[in-house]
Chains A and B, each alone.
Chain A
């Protein structure tokens, strides 16, 4: 089956620094990728929708300048948390959509746990 990888799986960074998370579709091309954030004991919150070659669409309340998304190729999207603060600590999951004709399938990465100290 289709596989989506995320790197790193865990990252600890100091407050004020930036951290980049990569999401790759390993065996298919994904024109659309999604980024989610999960707070403890809560569901996954959609942060933004990333389309290859165009600007990401952010959900209401998500800071574009804080969470930079780049979808430079059909197999790679990156999320950069800029000037990270402890409140940015969270579990981030990406998803890649594989389209086949009029149907699509959604595949999720294993997630990245970010801790900002």
Chain B
């Protein structure tokens, strides 16, 4: 969706390196979700953020939502080949009872 900008589109990192994926909107995000996917397969839920300034971590993945609730970042520490895949952010934008996805970020982690 053009409402939700995601960057970068693709990323290749060396194993062990840190990386960040961003998700930005010009409107307020009500419920920001991060998912991982392999194309043509189901979505793997990673994290959900609702409150401005909220930060959550799970294993080596940390997600943040800014105070204005218009930008979120997903940070992976010490990346591993198992982190490779497509990362998608999704959100209810502007509280219009619709849920849109960002364009996705393809991550490759070189061993």
Footprint of B on A, CB under 8 Å? 32, 34, 36, 38, 40-46, 49, 57, 91, 93, 95, 97, 103-106, 108-111, 113
B-side interface size class:
20 to 34
Contacts of A40 in B (CB 8 A): 39-40
| Inter-subunit contact A113/B40 (CB<8 Å) | yes
Give every chain B residue within 8 A of A105 (Cβ-Cβ). Answer: 31, 48
Contact between chains at A111 and B41 (CB < 8 Å): yes
Given A41-B39, A104-B31, A106-B33, A97:B101 Cβ within 8 A? no
Is B40's CB under 8 angstroms from A43's CB? no
User: In the complex, A114→B65 CA distance in Å?
Assistant: 36
Number of residue pairs A-B, CB distance < 8 angstroms: 58
Shortest C-beta distance, A69 to chain B (Å), equals 14
Query: A35 CA to B40 CA in the complex, in Å?
Result: 15
**B98, CB-defined interface residue at 8 Å:** yes
For the complex, would chain B's binding face be called helix, strand, loop or mixed by DSSP majority? strand
Are the CB atoms of A103 and B50 closer together than 8 Å?
Answer: yes
Residues of A within 8 A of B90 (CB): 44, 106
Task: Known contacts A93-B42, A103-B50; decide if A42 and B104 are in contact (CB<8 Å).
Answer: yes
13 A-B pairs with CB atoms under 8 Å apart are A34-B99, A38-B40, A43-B6, A45-B1, A46-B99, A95-B99, A103-B31, A104-B92, A108-B43, A108-B45, A111-B40, A111-B41, A113-B40
Interface hub of B50, B97, B99, B104 (most chain A Cβ within 10 A): B99
Interface residues in chain B, defined as those with a beta carbon under 8 Å from any beta carbon in chain A = 1, 6, 31, 33, 35, 39-43, 45, 48, 50, 88, 90, 92, 97-104
Q: A91 contacts which chain B residues (CB < 8 A)?
A: 39-40
Please, which residues of chain A bring their CB within 8 A of the CB of B50?
Answer: 103
CB closest chain-A residue, reference B102: A43
Query: A residues within 8 A CB of B97?
Result: 32, 49
The residues of A that contact B42 with a CB separation of less than 8 Å are 93, 108-111
Contact of A49 among B45, B48, B98, B102 (CB under 8 A): B98
A43 to B43, CA, bound (A): 11
Least CB distance from A105 to B in Å reads 7
